[in-house]
A = this chain, B = another copy of it.
Amino acid sequence: MEERLKPMDAEQLRESAHRMVDFIADYYKSIESFPVLSQVEPGYLRKLLPDSAPDHPESLQQVLEDVQAKILPGVTHWQSPNYFAYYPSNSSIAGFMGEMLSAGLNIVGFSWITSPAATELEIIVLDWLAKLLNLPDDFLSTGPGGGVIQGTASEAVLVVLLAARDKFLSRIGKSSLNKLVVYSSDQTHSALQKACQIGGIYPENCRVLKTDASTNYALSPDLLNEVISQDISTGLVPFLLCATVGTTSSTAVDPLPALATIAKRNGMWFHIDAAYAGSACICPEYRPYIDGVEEADSFNMNAHKWFLTNFDCSALWIKDRKALIQALSTNPEFLKNKASQANMVVDYRDWQIPLGRRFRSLKLWMVLRLYGVQNLQQYIRNHIELARQFEDLVSQDPKFEVVTPRIFSLVCFRLLSPDNDGDKGNKLNRDLLDTVNSTGKIFISHTVLSGTYILRFAIGAPLTEERHVNEAWKVLQDEASKLLATIQNN
């Protein structure tokens, strides 16, 4: 007779988990040996794995060997010091400790009662972070507002949009959904468009206002005013303005104070997406970039991007938590309990899309405690300094140009086309991106601004040091020279 499975034996857990720790630590020791961007072909893994689950157990050794041989080649190494694509997604020892503990306890914190510590630590830690960012007191849990950890900025902007939508519809009637208008710039993250789709906002009522180099790709208050006036004159109802501090393409910063005034005058919900750049605002010298947040209805930053907190951890603060709860609460019998019914507690399930939720505050708490504020500030400053150095390197090479002024730790640049032809220049930079990423030495990504294809070099991986930036620049120069030589030979 086979012995009964012991899926949670403490000593077996200890033994297996120690092995996994060594596996992961060894991974970090060797992380620079992998191609940063995975070089596999679509469908590679299907050829390496069986068609169905095994009937009988396999050993941890077998599984770890498969991770090494079959999974890791298909991994794009976001934690590599040579990762400069998109925006960073920080892992840290503290964040990893928090993930381990959260997975170890494996609670489901939908209501306060299902683990009071999960709810209360989240409240406390988001108050800590709000104070670090010098957010207005209205965002603290002690008033009618408060903070909550969402999975991602997409979910943050979605719940905000739903709260704003339902607040307006409760006033003008749900049949007026077709009148609600959302405002943002063409640099706003696509998550807003997705939130509009989900919330049923009419596509023709999503105002995506054009930006250009004259405002460094920030939203123009004049244009916004103009469009809002037009909309009001045709009977539409402006209800949500989404501003960004640190856009995904180029870290543009929308002019919050001017936008806040417009939002207020028109009675709109004003949301600020600082998913990437919010982290920098714990440094006093970068805090002015969110001046105007005092007038916002909601504010979001991703601790999982550039704040050493493992994915996922997106911090959202809101001034009127009732609006959120109004839009997202249900109250089924099977979840009723004394503490909730007596309104003595926060039940975060009513602040988010899903019912279930992980104990995510642990990792943010550990990051703040194990590193401390001064180290975190230094961490941010170091990346920004490295980006400044990279910007200098690019500026000094006449073959390249820096396209938008660097603000935080992203440099937008391009290789100049020898014949000054826009289309050829775009192709040249697309080719440079492909060849550089194909080397496996570094991974960068791109964007398009005013029709021009641009390379993005985003510094922010926890292991990145000056030497990695310098070597990356050498890879870019080398591949650029090769490309230019090919062109000149044709």
Assembly CA distance A400 to B162 (angstroms):
46
Assembly CA distance A158 to B158 (angstroms):
13
Instruction: With CB as the reference atom, state the residue of chain B lying closest to A159.
Output: B198
How would residues 85 to 103 of chain A score, 1 for a CB under 8 Å from any chain B CB and 0 otherwise? 0100111111111011101
Does A395 have its Cβ within 8 Å of any Cβ on chain B?
no
Q: A120-B46, A369-B53 are in contact. Are A154 and B356 (CB under 8 A)?
A: yes
Which of A75-83, A289-297, A481-489 lies at the binding interface? A75-83
Instruction: With CB as the reference atom, state the residue of chain B lying closest to A112.
Output: B42
On chain B, the residues within 8 Å of A91 by CB distance are 8, 103-104, 106
Residue in B37, B162, B366, B434 whose beta carbon sits within 8 Å of that of A198 in the complex = B162
A170-207 with Cβ < 8 A to chain B:
174-175, 177-178, 189-191, 193-194, 197-200, 202
A360 to chain B, nearest CB (A): 11
A28-B13 in contact (CB<8A): yes
Instruction: With CB as the reference atom, state the residue of chain B lying closest to A12.
Output: B93
B117-A74 in contact (CB<8A): yes
Does A20 have its Cβ within 8 Å of any Cβ on chain B?
yes
Residue in B89, B96, B152, B174 whose beta carbon sits within 8 Å of that of A17 in the complex = B96
How would residues 355 to 394 of chain A score, 1 for a CB under 8 Å from any chain B CB and 0 otherwise? 1101000100010111111110011001000000000000
Assembly CA distance A199 to B74 (angstroms):
36
A75-B190 in contact (CB<8A): no
Residue in B97, B189, B354 whose beta carbon sits within 8 Å of that of A152 in the complex = B354
On chain B, the residues within 8 Å of A40 by CB distance are 116-117
Does A38 have its Cβ within 8 Å of any Cβ on chain B?
yes
A132-B53 in contact (CB<8A): yes
On chain B, the residues within 8 Å of A53 by CB distance are 128-129, 131-132, 368-369, 372-373
Assembly CA distance A8 to B434 (angstroms):
29
Residue in B18, B55, B338, B373 whose beta carbon sits within 8 Å of that of A372 in the complex = B55
B382-A4 in contact (CB<8A): yes
Does A43 have its Cβ within 8 Å of any Cβ on chain B?
yes
On chain B, the residues within 8 Å of A366 by CB distance are 63
How would residues 13 to 25 of chain A score, 1 for a CB under 8 Å from any chain B CB and 0 otherwise? 1101110111111
Does A409 have its Cβ within 8 Å of any Cβ on chain B?
no
A154-B354 in contact (CB<8A): yes
On chain B, the residues within 8 Å of A9 by CB distance are 93
Q: A16-B93, A121-B45, A379-B5 are in contact. Are A38 and B356 (CB under 8 A)?
A: no
Assembly CA distance A107 to B34 (angstroms):
14
Assembly CA distance A333 to B22 (angstroms):
39
Assembly CA distance A116 to B71 (angstroms):
9
On chain B, the residues within 8 Å of A51 by CB distance are 127-128, 131
On chain B, the residues within 8 Å of A265 by CB distance are none
Q: A4-B378, A93-B7, A199-B198 are in contact. Are A76 and B447 (CB under 8 A)?
A: no
A123 to chain B, nearest CB (A): 8
On chain B, the residues within 8 Å of A96 by CB distance are 13, 17, 103-104, 106
Does A319 have its Cβ within 8 Å of any Cβ on chain B?
no
A24-B104 in contact (CB<8A): yes
Instruction: With CB as the reference atom, state the residue of chain B lying closest to A377.
Output: B55
Beyond the given A45-B117, A78-B108, A151-B151, please list 12 additional residue pairs across the A-B interface where CB-CB is below 8 A: A7-B94, A7-B462, A20-B104, A45-B121, A49-B124, A57-B372, A75-B116, A75-B118, A100-B103, A199-B200, A248-B334, A312-B356
Q: Can you identify 24 A-B contacts, CB atoms within 8 angstroms?
A: A5-B379, A7-B308, A17-B97, A20-B97, A23-B101, A24-B104, A38-B117, A45-B120, A45-B121, A52-B131, A53-B128, A56-B375, A57-B369, A76-B107, A79-B106, A89-B106, A152-B355, A158-B353, A190-B335, A190-B355, A198-B353, A249-B333, A311-B356, A353-B353
